Every structure is written in structure tokens, then in C-alpha cells.
Homo-oligomer: A and B are copies of this chain.
Amino acid sequence: MIVSTKANGRAAQATGASVSEDRLASRTRRMSASAISEILKVASRPGVISLAGGLPAPESFPVAYAHELIEGALKKHGPSIFQYGPTEGFLPLREAIAGYLAERDVVAAADEVVITTGSQQTLDALGKVLISPGDKIAVESPTYLGAICGFNPYQPDYVALESDDDGVIPEALEQALEDHVIKFVYLIPNFQNPSGRTLSLARRKAIAAMARKHGALIIEDDPYRSLRYEGEHLPTLWSLAPELVVYAGTLSKVLSPGMRIGFCVAPPLIRRWIVLAKQGMDLHTSSLDQAIAAEYISGGYLKSHLPDIIALYRPRLGAMLDSLEESLPKNYSWSHPEGGMFLWLSGPAGLDTEKLYPLAVERNVAYVPGRYFFTTPGEGNNTARLNFSNVDEAAIRTGIEKLASLMLETTGR
């Protein structure tokens, strides 16, 4: 680690007294400004009905009992909620999460749960610990932008896996595992972002068997599981192959995204390295937020509040599905999510959702053009992601009507 070789570094350094691009690490060129940040900025203009973002509804936040939660946490834990804490997480929260996870068939002891600063940090830590430059990662197509943004600095290459209404196509994964050394497979099996699709039971079983056959590691990102508005819960991939699955979750959709509480359950070796990596990343996740979150779960607030959140979002999804049905003809199709926050719209080949975007904003409706969710350039030009969690039913209806009439002007009926 210690260098003592003499080298003439002056020429390279004495390029003047300000900081220029050549000072950056080689990996830095892989971190580009999120392409959709401009889109989201425009979408937040006053008067625009935004189906673009991915925000939970403010009405779902624990404003009414914030005081109770903090009082409870202070009473139980005293000043320690303001003190440094263990990197793995605040034990009462790890216990509470273990209980919460057991209900979704992820059966882990509290000390097998690692708390992270949002599930984004789980992704960053996995990238840090697992990805060497040039490693290949298999991702659904389309996939979650935040994951790409988390992995990119570690310089992987992506293998895009074709998906349909039942989620990722197992044969596409099998082919990828045959053709490439895949460092890991990144999947969102429930109400995927951006597509809203859910991986079917048969495919879950097929993928778990495939992982076992190939010794493939799977990252199962499951932020929306609790937001199921109809149908039955399906088994997690983790429950089908726990030794090969990193299960990542978050409280962002059922408590507060602003509090940045994520968690994961991983094979012991990976768990240990995630914790070591996290130590260098932020030492630990906010003790205060963890204590509040522990109180939210163990005090029964989550259990009593979750039905309210579902009751808030279910009619919003319904309004969006009904409006699409009423406004768009047969050459348009869309996913029919049973939960989550997003729906995926596909139009005929002539539709160019990116080109249409400024016109849509002019008419006061915003969405995210689908192309941004593909790792392969040129795909998804006729698709869009629509969010239904952050706008009420009336606005959803108006927004879809505006959007549909604009789309039909360009593609014809």
C-alpha cells in the first residue's frame, strides 16, 4: 500500500491551479446525470399532472403520529437514538424487520438482517462488493434505472433479458447463463419498476431451479411487495433458493421514502462483505430514523396503517386502468398491475414517447418515456411509464385523457 518509488509527477500535476476533468477516476465517466432528472424537473411545474415520478402519496406518511413514534423511541432507548450505532443496524429494527419479513416467507433471524440507507445503498454495496470492471450483470428489459445508476460506477456490462406480461422470460435467462459468466442477476419480481409486471409462480420456480443449476446469484429487489391491491402473494425467489438470493427491501413505500430505510437478507459471505463495505460508506444508517421505524413496526402502526395506504392506491390504479380502456384503441396495450406504483404503456410502432414529451407537458401532463429503462439503445421508443400513486383519481382521469388524445393525434386511431 505504501509507495516509495520516485516518479516525476510534476508535469502531470502542474496543469494550473484549478480542478479539471482529468482529475477524475476512470470509473467516473460511467456515472452520468440521470437522463430522467430533466424530465422530472419539467414534470414538477405547477399545473402539470405528473404521472412521471415515483413518489408515494404524502397522505400515506406518518405525520399524524410522528410525535408518538419519537416519544416511544425516546422512552425505550433514551439518548442512544442520537448516538453512533452498529453498522449492521439498530437491533430493535433488525428484530422488527425480521418479523415483517417472516410474513412474506423470508425467514431470517434478526442478526441476518442488515439495515441500509434505503435499498439504493443495498444496490451500491452489492456493486462495490461484487462487480469487477467488465463483469456481466443480467437485468430485465426494461429495468429499474436506480439499479443501473448504483451499479454503473463499478463498470459492469449488462446482459438484457427479454420480458413479457409474466415478467422475465426464463429461457432468456437460461440463454444468458449459458452464454456468459454472469456475476449476478438483478430482478424485481413484484409489480416491477417500470413495467408493473409480476413474475408468475411457474417462472419463479423455473428461475430458482436455473439458479441452482448454474450456481447463479440473484438480487431480488422487492420494494412493492406490501402494496398488493388484488390477487395472492407469490413466494419470494429467496424462499425458493435462499442460498443464492440476496433479498432487498425498503420501508420507503410503507413508512416514508425520505427516511431512507432499506434492508437486506443475503448469503452469509455476502452479508459480511456488505457490512464491511457499508462501514466505509456511511458507518451506519441514521439511528434516529431506525428507532422511529422500529417503533412504527413493533408498535403495530405499520399493521394498522398499511390497509389505509392500499385503500388510497387501489382506486388510483383502477382509475388509470379504466381511463386507458376508455381512451385508447386496440393498437395500444398496457400492463395490468395487481399492486405497486407503476403501469407500462405500449403504443403502435409509430409512437415516439420521447418526441411527444414536450408536447405532453405543454398540455399539462407528464410521464417517463420508456426508452430510459432499457440498457439497449433504440428499444422502448413506443413505451411509457405511468405512475398512479402520487395523483388522485380525478387528476389521473384528466391526465390519461389528455395523454391519450395527444398520442392519438400522432398515431391515428
**Chain B residues within an 8 Å CB radius of A85:** 258
Is A124 engaged at the interface, CB distance under 8 Å to the other chain? yes
Q: Across the interface, name the chain B residue whose C-beta is closest to A241.
A: B17
Question: Given A9-B181, A24-B129, A160-B2, are A83 and B58 also a contact pair (CB < 8 Å)?
Answer: yes
Contact with B along A20-34 (1 / 0, CB 8 A): 110111111001111
Q: Do the beta carbons of B82 and A259 come within 8 Å of each other?
A: yes
Number of this chain's copies in the assembly equals: 2
- Tally of chain A residues near chain B (CB < 8 A): 113
Q: Do the beta carbons of A217 and B19 come within 8 Å of each other?
A: yes
Give A247 Cβ to nearest chain B Cβ, in Å. 13
Q: Do the beta carbons of B286 and A15 come within 8 Å of each other?
A: no
Q: Do the beta carbons of B13 and A280 come within 8 Å of each other?
A: no
- Taken together as a complex, chains A and B put the C-alpha atoms of A38 and B363 apart, in Å, by 62
Question: Given A17-B212, A158-B1, are A117 and B282 also a contact pair (CB < 8 Å)?
Answer: yes
Contact with B along A48-79 (1 / 0, CB 8 A): 00000001101101110011001100100011
Is A197 engaged at the interface, CB distance under 8 Å to the other chain? no
- Taken together as a complex, chains A and B put the C-alpha atoms of A287 and B130 apart, in Å, by 29
Q: Do the beta carbons of A259 and B287 come within 8 Å of each other?
A: yes
Which residue of the partner chain, among B9, B23, B260, contacts A283 with CB atoms under 8 Å? B260
Which residues 106-143 of A sit at the B interface, judged by CB distance below 8 A?
Answer: 117-118, 120-121, 123-124, 128-132, 135-136
Is A104 engaged at the interface, CB distance under 8 Å to the other chain? no
**Chain B residues within an 8 Å CB radius of A18:** 215, 243-244, 267
**Chain B residues within an 8 Å CB radius of A370:** none
**Chain B residues within an 8 Å CB radius of A63:** 74, 78-79, 82
